[in-house]
């Protein structure tokens, strides 16, 4: 990048699990090394638990703490903010919905040049477009995983949403070629059970 290129303000909003936050933090550091300003958005407790950054990142990487509003039906916990649940669970949907208002306010007040979002925040483009802010999706998953899981419900009506563990033990209907890629039943049952119990970090 040329020295006289415009330096950008880029907002970064990973999902709340550390398996997502750490890759987003590494991406943020790479961008910051080019001299761009990064606003890394997450909850206060999550940000406080992130690895300490070298002092040279201080002018470029700003941590934005946005408390998640209280959501009914979520158990109180001492762990930093709750849980990473399957994106189709009702609890996760409530978490996503309650993130919208503080994110919209941040975008309106800070007017970043760009915002990078995670899979669970598929609603970011519709909000960012109101403020003429371009968006980009950064996936921590490889293409094969995205192809197998399919899109977030509501993004593509042509995709039939799978609702039972057994439906994940066969190749997806939208894959047009022959493949044996699928979960074993015991594997997908473990994922379903964890999501229902609210396991998986934070």
Distance CA 85, CA 15 (A): 11
Distance CA 19, CA 76 (A): 22
pLDDT in tens, 55-105: 999 999 999 998 866 555 554 543 433 333 333 344 444 455 557 888 999
* Percent of residues in the chain assigned helix, strand, coil, to nearest 5: 40, 10, 50
9, 20, 48, 70: the catalytic one is 20
Distance CA 91, CA 61 (A): 31
Q: Place 157 in a pLDDT band, splitting at 50, 70 and 90.
A: low
pLDDT number for residue 151: 67
Maximum Cα–Cα distance across the chain: 56
Domain architecture of the chain: domains with CATH:
9-143 (3.40.50.2000)
Distance CA 27, CA 47 (A): 16
- The answer to whether residue 118 is catalytic is yes
Which residues neighbour 65 within 8 Å (Cβ) at sequence distance 6 or greater? Answer: 42, 43, 44, 47
Whether the per-residue pLDDT at 160 is higher than 80: the answer is: no
Q: Place 2 in a pLDDT band, splitting at 50, 70 and 90.
A: very low
Q: What angle do CA 11, 102, 199 make, to 5 degrees?
A: 85
Q: What are phi and psi of 134, to 5 degrees?
A: -65, 155
9, 70, 118, 158: the catalytic one is 118
């Amino acid at each position: 990048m040329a020295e006289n290129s415009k330096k950008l303000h880029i907002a970064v909003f990973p999902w709340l699990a550390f398996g997502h936050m750490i890759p987003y933090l590494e991406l943020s550091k790479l961008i910051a090394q080019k001299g761009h300003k990064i606003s890394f958005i997450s909850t206060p407790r999550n940000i406080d638990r992130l690895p300490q950054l070298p002092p040279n990142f201080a002018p470029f990487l700003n941590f934005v703490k946005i408390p998640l509003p209280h959501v009914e039906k979520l158990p109180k916990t001492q762990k930093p903010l709750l849980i990473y649940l399957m994106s189709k669970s009702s609890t996760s949907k409530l978490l996503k919905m309650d993130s919208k208002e503080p994110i919209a306010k941040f975008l309106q007040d800070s007017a970043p040049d760009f915002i990078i979002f995670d899979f669970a925040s598929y609603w970011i483009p519709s909000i960012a477009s109101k403020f003429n802010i371009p968006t980009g999706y950064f996936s921590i998953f490889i293409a094969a995983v995205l192809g197998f899981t399919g899109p977030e419900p509501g993004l593509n009506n042509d995709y039939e949403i799978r609702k039972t563990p057994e439906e994940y033990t066969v190749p997806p209907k939208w894959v047009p070629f022959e493949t044996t890629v699928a979960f074993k039943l015991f594997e997908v049952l473990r994922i379903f059970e964890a999501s229902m119990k609210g396991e998986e970090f934070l």
